[in-house]
């Protein structure tokens, strides 16, 4: 009975004082997704990780967490966000809209799809062929988000240690919730430059 109802209880964590409530929301949502799927990969130092959708909420935290684990990270985003993902730790960045990015793919120990399976590109499909023989392709659509107070506390510790810096692109008042959803549905929301 407990196991079946454990997700209805939710989760909790004390917010660090160093960040706003809006940043805490980005850390919780993007962080929980990023950590849940990166933990499946068991990343080791010096492994090569490609994060597709690197400028989104989960992608930007995935970059920072993979770097914290010692990985060499390549972020995939649009040309407008190349410098942005590098500023948050990506060693390299590829533009998914440019055909020549395919030739720049390397062999990766992990390809993390942080945008989901509905969005694709030639580069995303090619990245699946760039996985090492022992590597993995993991999508945030592979399973449902698992609510975990333990993982949320780990994220808080990483934020306090400045290993993860959560930020938001835009904040909308409740009265503009329709506009907020429209913006997210465009598929190009990103974290805000600091």
CATH top class, domain 22-185:
alpha beta
Whether the CA torsion 190, 166, 180, 112 is positive or negative: it is: positive
**Cβ-count burial 95-109 (b if 16+ within 10 Å, e if not):** bbeeeebbeebeebb
pLDDT digits (tens, 9 = 90+) for 124-139: 999 999 999 999 999 9
The model's confidence at residue 189, banded by pLDDT at 50, 70 and 90, is: low
Average pLDDT over residues 7-28: 73
Total-model pTM: 0.84
- Alpha carbons 12 and 134: distance in angstroms, whole number: 36
pLDDT value, residue 151:
92
Strands 131-139 and 92-95, sheet pairing:
unpaired
Mean pLDDT of the chain: 87
Domain residue spans of the chain: 22-185
Beta bridge partners of 110: 49, 136
pLDDT at 3 over 60: no
């Amino acid at each position: 009975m407990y196991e079946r109802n454990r997700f209805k209880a939710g989760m909790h964590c004390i917010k660090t004082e160093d960040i706003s409530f809006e940043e805490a929301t980005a850390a919780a949502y993007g962080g929980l997704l990023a950590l849940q799927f990166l933990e499946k990969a068991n990343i080791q130092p010096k492994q090569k990780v490609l994060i597709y959708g690197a400028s989104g909420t989960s992608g930007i935290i995935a970059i920072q967490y993979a770097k914290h684990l010692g990985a060499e990270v390549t972020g995939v985003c649009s040309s407008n966000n190349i410098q942005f993902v590098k500023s948050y730790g990506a060693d390299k960045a590829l533009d998914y809209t440019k055909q020549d990015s395919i030739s720049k793919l390397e062999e990766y120990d992990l390809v993390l799809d942080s945008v989901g399976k509905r969005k694709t590109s030639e580069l995303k499909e090619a990245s699946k062929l760039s996985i090492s023989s022992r590597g993995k392709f993991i999508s945030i659509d592979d399973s449902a988000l698992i609510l975990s107070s333990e993982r949320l506390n780990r994220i808080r510790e990483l934020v306090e240690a400045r290993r993860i810096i959560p930020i938001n692109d835009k904040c909308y008042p409740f009265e503009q919730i329709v506009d907020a959803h429209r913006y997210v549905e465009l598929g190009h929301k990103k974290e805000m430059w600091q």
